[in-house]
A and B are shown apart, each in its own frame.
Chain A
């Protein structure tokens, strides 16, 4: 998902077994864990990675869409896209603040993203080539994100849960604006409809990858599920996403690029082809089509903004000193 392949850490030797048991009991009882409560070091570290990766994904996720703000087909579409991209910045900020309660600063996390110690979702390493991609991203990428974020509202860590509640309130607008673009394109000229089909063809498998590797290859799930920082398995969510999305594609008159796709009466869901996991692991390693460009863009923004951040701090300190002198 926005946080894929988060390396989880189990309880450590130094954790007091009695405290661990009490902690697990609180989680099992549905208690929220708050930043100043006792928590196992593994819980804290896993959450920093997961929330940090989620936050970075929101921020890097602005780039593929930002690509089309200046070229949106109408002023209304431009204003809507601008509002959506601004929301993503907001979502990143909510999440950074949630992670910061665990004892890591936002600036530290930013630097870890830039030097490759932290990751962002594989989906944002793909290019957005046409306007129809704005439709496909909203419809599929935000749709997949919602599938993961809705259950995370019930996660055990209070600040993460509250950030998710806030994000989910806003996310539905994102998916609908994407589907709205797809509806317009599919009701347009044959060339426009083809553009929508092409966007679906390119984004289908990367969207399926967002949920992370298959459960049989997912080594980190069980501890995170016991701690309620992961609420569903990757395969569960992927299945749910496919089942929900196929009828929507049919409504649009588009074809899912999967010859093996078929309704399976017995399981009450679709059978579908797995994405190319080798490609997924390459993208996660930083070898996606736009991986280099994404980090270079973030690094330029960070470096070019340094004088603004420092200047505003210097101004604030000067103003504070002047106020003290005047009193």
Chain B
């Protein structure tokens, strides 16, 4: 090996055929954004899995901390009223 500079890591997001959002599919190494997209084409869309690729430098992603899972997500637990099925609406009222 000549030196220890490895190609940076990119996170790859792909939008499928039917207009859904871009979804994270995995990561890969590439020297720059242009190569990241070219590589992503070969690594993640060999079977027409998508029509649009985003490549994001992995170190640009901010992530929530796994140890804060409780304080972050538990408050949603007792708010079942956010879901439509919480409310009993009489059948006679019709579609709602």
Q: B-contacting residues of A (Cβ < 8 Å)?
A: 34, 36-37, 83, 86-87, 90, 93-94, 97, 100, 105-107, 111, 162-163, 166, 170, 306-307, 309-310, 312-313, 315-316, 319-320
Does B5 sit within 8 A of A, measured CB to CB?
yes
Interchain CB contact under 8 A, A106 and B6? yes
Interchain CB contact under 8 A, A312 and B35? yes
A93 partner residues in chain B, CB cutoff 8 A: 28, 43
Measured in the bound complex, the distance between the Cα atoms of B1 and A111 in whole Å is 9
Write the nearest CB–CB distance from A10 to chain B, whole angstroms. Answer: 24
A34 partner residues in chain B, CB cutoff 8 A: 66
Measured in the bound complex, the distance between the Cα atoms of B40 and A93 in whole Å is 11
Which parts of B14-36 form the interface with A (CB within 8 Å)? Answer: 26-29, 31-32, 35
Does B59 sit within 8 A of A, measured CB to CB?
no
Interchain CB contact under 8 A, A100 and B46? no
Also in contact, A106 and B29, with CB within 8 A (given A87-B46, A93-B43, A313-B7): yes
Write the nearest CB–CB distance from B36 to chain A, whole angstroms. Answer: 10
Scoring B7, B31, B32 by chain A CB atoms within 10 A of each residue's CB, the highest score goes to B31
Interchain CB contact under 8 A, A86 and B42? yes
Interchain CB contact under 8 A, B46 and A90? yes
Measured in the bound complex, the distance between the Cα atoms of B70 and A138 in whole Å is 47
Given B1, B26, B46, B66, which contacts A107 in the complex, CB threshold below 8 Å? Answer: B1
Given A170, A313, A315, which contacts B5 in the complex, CB threshold below 8 Å? Answer: A313
Interchain CB contact under 8 A, A107 and B6? yes
Given B5, B26, B47, which contacts A162 in the complex, CB threshold below 8 Å? Answer: B26
Measured in the bound complex, the distance between the Cα atoms of B42 and A90 in whole Å is 8
Does B63 sit within 8 A of A, measured CB to CB?
yes
B29 partner residues in chain A, CB cutoff 8 A: 106
Interchain CB contact under 8 A, A97 and B46? no
Interface size grouping (class) on chain B: 20 to 34
Measured in the bound complex, the distance between the Cα atoms of B43 and A170 in whole Å is 12
Write the nearest CB–CB distance from B60 to chain A, whole angstroms. Answer: 14
Measured in the bound complex, the distance between the Cα atoms of B5 and A319 in whole Å is 17
B43 partner residues in chain A, CB cutoff 8 A: 90, 93-94
Measured in the bound complex, the distance between the Cα atoms of B27 and A163 in whole Å is 11
Chain A's closest residue to B64 (CB) is A36
Closest 5 CB pairs of A and B: A316-B32, A312-B31, A316-B31, A97-B27, A107-B6
Chain B's closest residue to A37 (CB) is B66
A313 partner residues in chain B, CB cutoff 8 A: 5, 7, 31
Scoring A36, A97, A320 by chain B CB atoms within 10 A of each residue's CB, the highest score goes to A97
Binary contact track B1-15/A, C-beta < 8 Å → 1, others 0: 111111101000000
Interchain CB contact under 8 A, A36 and B66? yes
Does B85 sit within 8 A of A, measured CB to CB?
no
Also in contact, A36 and B65, with CB within 8 A (given A90-B46, A310-B2): yes
Also in contact, A306 and B9, with CB within 8 A (given A36-B63, A90-B43, A315-B31): no
Also in contact, A166 and B26, with CB within 8 A (given A34-B66, A90-B46, A309-B7): yes
Interchain CB contact under 8 A, B3 and A310? yes
Write the nearest CB–CB distance from A9 to chain B, whole angstroms. Answer: 23
Write the nearest CB–CB distance from A118 to chain B, whole angstroms. Answer: 16
Binary contact track B40-57/A, C-beta < 8 Å → 1, others 0: 001100110000000000
Interchain CB contact under 8 A, B1 and A306? yes
Measured in the bound complex, the distance between the Cα atoms of B3 and A273 in whole Å is 50
A83 partner residues in chain B, CB cutoff 8 A: 46
